[in-house]
């Protein structure tokens, strides 16, 4: 049990700096997810915490102790790797007991701990098998078991579900969430999949190019993204962006003029904006609807309709380079080539200034979000 605190942590590989001064405070027992596109430094950050890479500059402390120069095994952390990295010549039991054996625990102690972990993970019948005789999901569980038996203060997961098929991934996601609830240990989890981040995390850290873009609860990130990057990264399908000009600013709203000529008044904090400023308006696909041409924000031609079953995705060409995605009911009758209007409620729109920073939204009303925000 321990919190993890990073202060201005930097990592340089030769002349190339990949982590540019990260500050982070992960509380005890928290499920923290590092998310970002590939190459954003999330795995490097995890490896710095694990001790597999040396920290170039800054300070890392686990449970109050600065651990910059402490060997991985003494940090009290356990790691689950993307490829599982099970020892191929050892049985499941030996795989899990290896770390305990190295730490000179007695055979009885080893057996008791492995059995307990095996029970938690439903591996009791597989203890004599070799890794190559296991399925992907089972290997994954052994890898997690190997981490559990050491009773670490912090669990580290490096994209642990990316090698599993979709159905198994959902199942393991739930099992991991349950495991976290049961062990109540600090967990740090790296993924490039925003769905995993949204569903599992207490706290999400969005990274880009070795910098923290935003830290927050899943719903905080969804409703109050700090900037254009986070807004585009969180949510699926990703948020639509259209450019607009500021027409008028009042205390509780900003009126913008869209490229279609339509003027809308959006309830966001307009401080820092001036009339005629160029801004970006963001609208999530699930907040849009197909509307009459006179109530619509703009019109366009339907290019593709994807039927997902419970919903449909309509891709509307609006004249600009990007397709605008609208999430509609699953039984939609809209066809390719139709000209449609797209509408959205004012309070569901996001506004980003010229530097891509978000303007605070003022009309968000969401009970779970408030609950999550009081947690922090």
Nearer to another protein, 189 or 298 (CB): 189
Nearer to another protein, 81 or 364 (CB): 81
Nearer to another protein, 41 or 300 (CB): 41
What count of residues does the chain have?
376
Q: Residues in the site for another protein, rule: CB under 8 A?
A: 50-52, 72-73, 77-79, 81-83, 85-89, 98-99, 102-103, 131-132, 146, 150
Nearer to another protein, 98 or 255 (CB): 98
Q: How far is the CB of 127 from another protein (least distance, A)?
A: 18
- Identify each DSSP E strand in the chain by its residue range: 4-13, 16-26, 31-35, 57-62, 65-66, 77-80, 154-158, 186-191, 203-208, 211-216, 240-249, 254-258, 263-266, 278-283, 288-291, 298-307, 311-317, 323-329, 339-344, 350-352
Nearer to another protein, 98 or 338 (CB): 98
Helix axes 136-148, 107-121, angle to 10 degrees: 130
Nearer to another protein, 74 or 322 (CB): 74
Q: How far is the CB of 93 from another protein (least distance, A)?
A: 14
Q: How far is the CB of 282 from another protein (least distance, A)?
A: 38
Beta bridge partners of 248: 255
Q: How far is the CB of 129 from another protein (least distance, A)?
A: 13
Q: How far is the CB of 36 from another protein (least distance, A)?
A: 21
CA distance linking residue 334 with residue 324, whole number of Å:
15
DSSP labels for 299-364? Answer: EEEEEEEEE-SSEEEEEEE-SSSSEEEEEEETT----TT-EEEEEE-GGG-EEE-TTSBBPPBS--
Q: How far is the CB of 150 from another protein (least distance, A)?
A: 8
């Amino acid at each position: 049990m321990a919190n993890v605190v990073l202060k201005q942590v930097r990592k340089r590989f030769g002349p190339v700096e990949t982590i540019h001064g990260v500050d982070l405070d992960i509380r005890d027992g928290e499920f923290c997810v590092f998310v970002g596109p590939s190459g954003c430094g999330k795995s490097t950050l995890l490896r710095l915490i694990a001790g597999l890479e040396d920290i170039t500059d800054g300070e890392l402390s686990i449970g109050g102790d600065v651990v910059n120069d402490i060997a991985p095994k003494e940090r009290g952390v356990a790691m689950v790797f993307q490829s599982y990295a099970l020892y191929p010549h050892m049985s499941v039991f030996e795989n899990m007991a290896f770390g305990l054996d190295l730490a000179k625990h007695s055979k009885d102690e080893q057996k008791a701990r492995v059995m307990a972990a095996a029970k938690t993970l439903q591996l009791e019948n597989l203890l004599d098998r070799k890794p190559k005789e296991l399925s992907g999901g089972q290997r994954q569980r052994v890898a997690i078991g190997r981490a559990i038996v050491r009773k670490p203060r912090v669990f580290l997961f490096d994209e642990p579900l990316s090698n599993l098929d979709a159905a198994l991934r959902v199942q393991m996601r739930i099992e991991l969430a349950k495991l976290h609830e049961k062990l109540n240990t600090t967990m740090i989890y790296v993924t490039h999949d925003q769905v995993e981040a949204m569903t599992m995390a207490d706290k999400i850290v969005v990274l880009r190019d070795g910098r923290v873009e935003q830290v927050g609860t899943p719903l905080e990130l969804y409703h109050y993204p700090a900037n254009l990057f986070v807004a585009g990264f969180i949510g699926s399908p990703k948020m639509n962006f259209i450019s607009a000009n500021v027409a008028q600013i009042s205390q509780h709203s900003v009126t913008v003029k869209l490229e279609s000529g339509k003027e809308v008044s959006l309830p966001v904090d307009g401080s820092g904006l001036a009339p005629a400023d160029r801004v970006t308006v963001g609208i999530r696909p699930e907040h849009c609807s197909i509307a009459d041409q006179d109530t619509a924000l703009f019109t366009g031609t339907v290019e593709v309709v994807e039927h997902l079953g419970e919903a449909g995705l309509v891709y509307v060409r609006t004249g600009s380079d990007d397709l605008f995605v609208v999430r509609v009911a699953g039984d939609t009758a809209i066809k390719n080539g139709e000209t449609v209007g797209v509408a959205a409620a004012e309070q569901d729109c996001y506004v980003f200034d010229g530097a891509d920073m978000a303007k605070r939204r003022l009309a968000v009303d969401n009970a779970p979000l408030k609950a999550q925000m009081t947690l922090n």
